[in-house]
Amino acid sequence: MAATILQGKEVAQSIRAELANEVAELNKQGIVPGLTVVIVGDDPASHSYVRGKAKGCEEVGISSEIIMKDADITEEELLIIIQQLNENPNVNGILVQLPLPAHISEHAVIEAIAPEKDVDGFHPISIGNMVLGNETMLPCTPHGIIELIKRTGTSMAGKHAVVIGRSNIVGKPVSLLLQQENATVTMCHSRTQNLEDYTQKADILVVATGRAHMIGKEHVKPGAVVIDVGVNRIETGKLVGDVKFDEVKEVASFLTPVPGGVGPMTITMLLKNTVVAAKKQAKQ
Ligand code: NDP
């Protein structure tokens, strides 16, 4: 039987509706959650992501500001901007769009963000708390993936989850969150030998490699939940995932499309983190 297509866009829409209600309640208390996005340089993909984030904010009633800086800004100048945002009580969340130009240390910039305003969940303190299982700001894409899997009604407890990719922003954190949901997790990467030996045993398969169409039906256990994180632009200009959608949908039980799967969930989790941050900061 063909897989149910996990429409992240629809799930994201329903979470955004819940968030809009929460924001309306906060407004009654005089609180308007605020997100500031800092973007350096003119990379078209980064600008498109930032526009998507601003649109999402508008949808749920978060006040958003975009600070655009030329690629020749110095690290010191950027750190001063972050410091000012840290001190601004109207700014509840700060996001620096990555990647940054090579002369700026991403590490230094992320560490400069006040952890309570780190809505991307990339600060070492946020990551440390996530590893410890403490309540914290979770990174948006991995958090969105877990929410999507939950919406399938599939219990992760005791299942074998295989994650392909071990980046700091997707593979590593999603592996950890799956483990916290009591899945048994295997992590694969570019040095893994005989990848299909692992993927064929996966009840839940998360693919985050950035390699267009690398996963075919021969990799997938019948009935598996398959989450395709990859976003790849192929020669025709079309956006495709890391998974061969047409053939894998014939064997999986659930499959995310690209676009319209994980992507909309990522932005929605950013909005959620901003609302949570605003609530916490209002209490302090
Ligand atoms: P990275 O390039 O940082 O990491 C890719 C990972 O895939 C690495 O760990 C690499 O292994 C592994 N890998 C590469 N080739 C293979 C292979 N042939 N077999 C097994 N493993 C392989 O990418 P990201 O994690 O940042 O992103 C992954 C994809 O997800 C990209 O397409 C990106 O655009 C997309 N993405 C989508 C988001 C969304 O919201 N939809 C958000 C973030 C990312 P090794 O470590 O050994 O090099």
Q: What is the model's pLDDT at position 1?
A: 78
User: Counting atoms of ligand 1 from 1, which one is nearest the CA of 164?
Assistant: 21
Show the ligand 1 pocket: residues with CB < 6 angstroms.
Answer: 141, 164-167, 169-171, 188-192, 195, 208-211, 214, 229-232, 262-263, 266
- 181 pLDDT higher than 90: yes
Question: Within 13 Å, how many C-alpha atoms sit on residue 199's CB side?
Answer: 25
Measured by CA distance, the residue closest to atom 3 of ligand 1 is 167
Pocket test for ligand 1, best of 6, 229, 239, 258 (most atoms within 8 A of CB): 229
| Stretch 46-52: mean pLDDT | 95
From atom 18 of ligand 1, which residue's Cα is the shortest distance away?
190
Q: Is the pLDDT of residue 42 over 90?
A: yes
Residue 236: per-residue pLDDT:
95
Asked whether residue 166 is marked as a ligand-binding residue, the answer is yes
Tens-digit pLDDT profile for residues 108-144: 999 999 999 999 999 999 999 999 999 999 999 999 9
CA of 258 to the centre of ligand 1 (A): 15
Q: What is the pLDDT of residue 284?
A: 85
- Percent pLDDT > 90 in the chain is 98
Instruction: Please count the other Cβ atoms lying within 10 Å of the Cβ belonging to residue 32.
Output: 13
Cis link prior to 33 (omega < 30° from 0)? no
pTM, entire model: 0.96
The CA 230 to ligand 1 mean position distance, Å, reads 7
Average pLDDT over every residue of 76-80: 98
DSSP designation for 193: S
Instruction: Tell me how far the alpha carbon of residue 26 lies from the centroid of ligand 1, in angstroms.
Output: 37
| Cβ-based neighbours of 71, under 8 Å, separated by 6 or more | 40, 41, 42, 101
Tokens of 117: 């305003």
Burial tier of 105 (Cβ tally within 10 Å: 0-12, 13-18, 19+): middle
Query: What domains does the chain contain, in order, with CATH numbers?
Result: 32-116 (3.40.50.10860), 140-262 (3.40.50.720)
Nearest Cα residue to atom 16 of ligand 1? 190
In this prediction the ipTM stands at: 0.99
What positions carry a catalytic annotation?
53, 97, 120
Q: What percent of the chain has pLDDT over 70?
A: 100
The label of the residue with tokens 């605003």 reads: 278
Cα 87 to averaged position of ligand 1 atoms, centre (Å):
35
Residue 175: CA count within 13 A, CB half-sphere: 17
Collapsing DSSP states into helix, strand and coil, what is residue 65?
strand
SS3 of 112-175: HCCHHHECCCCCHHHHHHHHHCCCCCCCHHHHHHHHHHHHCCCCCCCCEEEEECCCCCCHHHHH
User: Parallel, antiparallel, or unpaired: how do β-strands 239-240 and 204-207 relate?
Assistant: unpaired
